[in-house]
């Protein structure tokens, strides 16, 4: 029962993500994503990193840095690097 309802939630979350990414594409400007407090509830981190173009360190982290201007360096942190949600699949499936 839990797995069935969880899959339905994942499918719905995937549809919402598709719609959001379509809207971001319409901006025709660079977009830099970061994971927020609800992102990991329904979709696993590696999948979100891939879909959002987050190229963090090897091992699947979701933090990175970029330079939008020669005198600026932006650091995007991963607030869930160490948390229960950091690896939700380990505790959800047991």
20-53 pLDDT per residue, tens = 999 999 999 999 999 887 788 888 888 999 999 9
Q: Determine the pLDDT at residue 2.
A: 38
pLDDT > 60? residue 19: yes
Q: Determine the pLDDT at residue 93.
A: 52
64-88 pLDDT per residue, tens = 999 999 999 999 988 777 665 555 5
pLDDT > 50? residue 89: yes
Structurally, the chain folds into a number of domains equal to 1
Average pLDDT over every residue of 2-26: 81
Domain of 55? 2-92
What's the CA angle centered on 21, arms 49 and 86, to 5 degrees? 25
């Amino acid at each position: 029962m839990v797995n069935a309802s969880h899959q339905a939630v994942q499918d719905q979350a995937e549809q919402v993500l598709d719609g959001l990414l379509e809207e971001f594409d319409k901006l025709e400007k660079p977009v830099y994503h970061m994971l927020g407090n609800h992102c990991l509830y329904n979709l696993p981190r590696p999948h979100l990193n891939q879909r959002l173009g987050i190229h963090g360190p090897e091992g699947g982290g979701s933090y990175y840095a970029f330079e939008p201007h020669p005198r600026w360096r932006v650091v995007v942190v991963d607030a869930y690097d160490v948390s229960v949600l950091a690896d939700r699949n380990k505790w959800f499936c047991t």
